[in-house]
Structure 1
Amino acid sequence: MRKYQQLALLLISCFSVGVLMMYKSENNRLKYVLRYVNFFGRNDAAVLRRIQNSTTAEDEERQSKWVFTKPLPVWQVIGDSFYAYSAYWKQKELVVGGEAHVIVVGKKGAVVDFRCSFDVGGRSVQGKFRFQRDAAEGVVDDKASTFTNYNFFCQVSRNFGQPKYVSFSDATSPIKRQVKLHLRHLKPAKTAAKATTTTAAAVPAGATLTEVPVRFPATICVDLVSFDVGSRFARNVDAMVQFFLFHQALGVQHFLVYNYDELPEQVVRLLERTKMHLYSLPFNFPFLQTNGTAARIRQLLQTDCLLRNVNYASFTMLLAPNELVYPNARFAGNLGKSSLQRQLRAYESETVRFELSSFAVCFDERKKLLIDNVQYDPELRSKVLLYRLELPAAQLLLPTAKGVELPLSSGFAHRYVECQQVGADGLHDWRTGVREDLMEHITQLRSEVDLLI
């Protein structure tokens, strides 16, 4: 019996020695590998941190891809003479119920008579239909277009849950059918505390700015629908790229491009090397587009841009690629003292629209940078609108929404045009009316973009 015990101990000892030799061999191999890894300064902790940071960045990248494009907007028929582009669901906050807001165009003079319902968990819930003509309808010349802009609403006064679709049926159509529209949900918005003064100097540091649930400092909606894609500016790749690079230098990383397919492929390839995010939004408009309808179509884009960015950005604006904004500060995520966000939040919280003067600057292809074009036509003046998205969506779209015209010391915009017919007053140099501190800021932006071109 004792011999068997000794044999068992011998076998166990041999097995243990074998295991130890194997681990020693593996340990030597790991030391060899780690020695070369450490030679390049890549210790395990640094590698793990880099992997973790990369994973976080990839998660944010994946999440940001759908934040502005789901569901994808597209013009689709909802009646004999009506087309819908995008639909938004807004849950009411103080009372029960909610409503869908749909951007619609219809044939001029067509009768509006619809029924609407919601798809909630597979069951149909009847809604109350109402509509409004777009607020700009009375301003734009009716003779220039064959269509009318509408806002369709479908309302329920009870909480049935979160609807996925809203359906419309045209009561005037001989064919009775319901057309489903995929809803994009607008999250309930918190509002910032009302400012007590209207000057930046009077706002105390850290004044209730954290109450606004925003994700991005600012976004830009890019209008390639009414933009002349056959112009010299559009054919100049460097000029098109600079539109994105200049605004990226200001802190804008997210661009919602309407009619994305019109963006030149070479421009897209160059922008893919940067860290900015481009979102493709189709715009298959069902009616004939002319110079006379540009204002109406731009109003449609403006409405969708505001609704699409609510609760996802602090500020947004709709710009064509030949429009560049030069504020006196950058959009800063940390809300520093010199950030544009902090300056604009010094105004009353009811102020949602900020107007920047826009100069028609003569575009010269021989200039490397757009900012080097200094001559402008003083007779061609316009405005660029910057929207603050901290009020509920319904208030942003009201024609009575409060706006403020910003002084030139706060910033301005340039619209690059072909100066073929100059007014009687001739061309002026836009730099003569710019304050020294603002000019220094613009020069710094120029230097940053110059390194990338």
Structure 2
Amino acid sequence: MRKYYQLTLVVVSVISVVSLLIYRHEYNRLRYVLEVLNFFGTPGQSASASECAPFNVTRLNYDILGFREHLPTWQRISSTYSVYSAFWEASDGSNRVKAVGIGLMKSEPNFKCHVWFEDETDPVPGKFSYLLLEDKDNTVGNFKLPKGDGLNAHFLYCKPQASLGIPTGVSFYVSTTHVPFKPFIPVQSIDDRTIVENSTLVCVAPNSLPVVSKTSVVEFLSYHQLVGINDFIVYDRTLPSQFPVVLQNRVVQERFNLRVLFLPWNFPYSAVDNDRAVRLAVEKDCVMRAWGKVRNVVVLSWNDYIVPKLFRSLAVMLDNLESDRKITLRFSLPTLVFCTDLADDPQADSTLPMAARKTKCLKGSGLDKMFHVYRPLSIPGNRTGSTRIVSPRIAAVHRYISCFKEKGTLPSEENLMYEPTVLKFASDLKRSKLLKAGETSKLFQ
């Protein structure tokens, strides 16, 4: 009897092992098929049909929207000049590479260039030209900036002699006789996709401070979500490594309806990061990167807050301001400077973020120091584009600084005015899931 039990156990064991092997084999086959279908699409299904999805397009990540087609990085092309990123312009028939670069003022850009195309072993020679990027009022970021150690920002153009499709890279160099190296700069294509309506992208400029606190980052993101902004590109310089790891995590982004992309910022010069040329370069890269993907684009720092007065959504406010006769390509918003070292508003809850507790701003800041919100889109038909000046009674950018550190003294009461608009978002800030997670340190655990 005992032998029968042992035989039965052996038979059951053999059947179990064989079943497990068959299951594993079928599982691997199914997994492989699903991976192939996921990559190539379903056979017989058109591209347009396969791209349809039962969820909102605004929840697509940056890889699909194309913000992260190529990670930029500063590359030296001469002893006095560096290039950050490059884009392919073809929508207006120009068919040329447009690169963002910075160099010393004493050296005028004078390069040769080649354009690299896919499946081509040799590059195509191109015609080089450039355009100096200027802010006529020298008020980038809503306040006058020093010229630093003498830097200029440019658009570098390279028009290939023959267009062999969409290029993969571009090389700028000094001469053909002495070329120690030809840096390969990846080229990102600019295409006119269907723009997500009511979408706004905020690009955060490199921080001039050595450290940005977790609280500052979370409060900045939480507030701008309340005015309808969920897309952010951060030009990273000194942020702790855990910031990109956490905020670019897909689970975190889906949980908080937040899309944050961090781009490297290995700036090769000693100029401070709020130098006018640096801010111009960031602004142009941001606008080009967002072209055809979102409706509104603005460059801010961590201490800048866009505050609409008459609307709760920035995009809705801008749409209401747009003229029927002209397409607005740029909205200019005034700046109000708030002192963080002044006392909190007595009506504000002490647990609110700093921006909702500081309600006294400096008189005299406003229309003479503008902040630009761009609309990077093609102009249809014969309609012309324009710049719309936004009244401070409609919206403004609130900049929060330490007045004592900036000016050496605190302003007197007669030089201050009361501006409590942010307080209207107080109850929403208290309910913010992102802000609660940041306050309890659960977000960065």
Q: In 1, distance between residues paired with 2:431 and 2:137?
A: 47
Out of 270, 273, 281, the position equivalent to 1:288 is 270
Cα 1:92/1:405, change in 2 over 3 Å:
closer
SS of residue in 2 equivalent to 1:144: coil
| 1:314 aligns to 2:295 (yes or no) | yes
Residue by residue over 1:195-230, the C-alpha shift from the partner in whole angstroms, topping out at 9 and shown as x without a partner, is xxxxxxxxxxxxxxxxx744661110012x244345
How many pairs does the alignment contain? 350
- In structure 1, the residue matched to 2:13 is none
- 2:322 aligned partner: 345
C-alpha distance in structure 2 between counterparts of 1:59 and 1:246, whole Å: 19
**Deviation at residue 345 of structure 1 after TM alignment:** 2.9
- The 1:282/1:348 distance shift into structure 2, 3 A limit, reads farther
Instruction: Show the counterpart of 2:378.
Output: 391
Q: How do 1:212-291 and structure 2 match up within 5 A? A: 213-214=195-196, 217-223=199-205, 225-230=206-211, 234-235=212-213, 237-259=214-236, 261-262=238-239, 265=242, 269=246, 272=252, 274-290=256-272
Quote how far apart the aligned CAs of 1:243 are.
Answer: 1.0
Counterpart for residue 209 of structure 1? none
CA offset at residue 269 of structure 1? 4.8
Which one-letter code corresponds to 2:372 in the other structure? L
Residues 267 and 274 (structure 1), Cα distance of their counterparts in 2 relative to 1, 3 Å cut:
farther
One-letter amino acid of the structure 1 residue matched with residue 218 of structure 2: V
Structure 1 distance, partners of 2:328, 2:57, is 36
Report what 1:447 is aligned to. 427
Counterpart CA distance in 2 for 1:124 and 1:269 is 40
Q: CA, structure 1 residues 84+302, in 2 after alignment: closer, same or farther (shift >3 Å)? A: same
2:393 equivalent to 1:416: no
Distance 1:239 1:75, change over 3 A: closer
Whole-angstrom CA distance in 2 between matches of 1:59 and 1:422: 44
Selected match of 2:103 from 102, 106, 126 = 106
Paired residues of 1:91 and 1:186 also in contact (CA < 8 A)? yes
Distance 1:267 1:187 in 2: 27
* Identity score, percent: 19
Q: Distance in 1 between matches of 2:165 and 2:328?
A: 33
Unmatched 5+ residue regions in structure 2? 1-51, 140-144, 345-349, 437-445
Q: Could you say which structure has the larger radius of gyration? A: 1
In 2, Cα distance between equivalents of 1:151 and 1:60? 32
User: Do the aligned partners of 2:59 and 2:257 also contact (CA within 8 Å) in 1?
Assistant: no
2:209 alignment partner AA: D
The SS at the match of 1:100 is strand
Length-normalised TM-score, structure 2 = 0.69
- Provide Cα deviations, 1:239-282, integer angstroms capped at 9, x if missing partner: 43111111111111110001165268479758945220110111
Structure 1 residues 243 and 111, CA, compared in 2 at 3 Å: closer, same or farther? closer
Task: Write the distance in 1 (CA, Å) between the matches of 2:196 and 2:215.
Answer: 32
Conserved? CA contact 1:170–1:176, under 8 Å: no
Pair 1:161-2:158 in alignment:
no
1:77 equivalent to 2:76? Answer yes
Deviation readout 1:268-312 (Å, 9 max, x if unpaired):
758945220110111111110237x62221111111111111111
> 1:117-146 CA distances to partner (integer Å, 9 max, x unpaired)?
222231422211111222238948886324
Hey, what does 1:429 align to over in structure 2? 418
Q: TM-score, normalised by structure 1?
A: 0.68
Partner of 2:307: 326
Distance 1:256 1:143, change over 3 A: closer
Retained in 1: the 8 A contact 2:360–2:417? yes
- 1:303 aligned counterpart, secondary structure: helix
Candidates 383, 387, 390, aligned match of 1:403: 387
CA distance in 2 between counterparts of 1:102 and 1:430 reads: 41
Partner amino acid, structure 1, of 2:156:
F
The AA in structure 2 aligned to 1:126 is P
Task: Tell me, yes or no, if structure 1 residue 303 matches structure 2 residue 287.
Answer: no
Residue 132 of structure 1 is matched in structure 2 by 131
Distance 1:268 1:242, change over 3 A: farther
Provide the residue aligned with 2:22 in structure 1.
none
Are the aligned partners of 1:361 and 1:375 in contact in 2 as well (CA < 8 Å)?
A: yes
Contact 2:247 2:260 in 1 (8 A): no
2-structure distance, mates of 1:124, 1:371: 55
Is the partner of 2:221 in helix, strand or coil? Answer: helix
Query: Alpha carbon RMSD of aligned pairs, Å?
Result: 3.5
Say if 1:351 and 1:130 are closer, same or farther in 2 by CA, change over 3 A. Answer: same
Q: Residues 58 and 350 of structure 1: is their aligned pair in 2 closer, same or farther, counting only changes over 3 Å? A: closer
8 Å CA contact 2:124, 2:162 repeated in 1: no
Corresponding letter in the other structure for 1:427: L
Cα distance in 2, alignment partners of residues 239 and 156 from structure 1:
45
What does 1:39-54 align with in structure 2 at a 5 Å threshold?
Answer: none
1:71 positional shift? 0.4
2:155 corresponds in structure 1 to 151
Given the superposition, is the C-alpha separation of residues 144 and 342 from structure 1 closer, same or farther in structure 2, using an over 3 Å criterion?
closer
Q: Per the alignment, in what secondary structure is the counterpart of residue 179 of structure 2?
A: coil
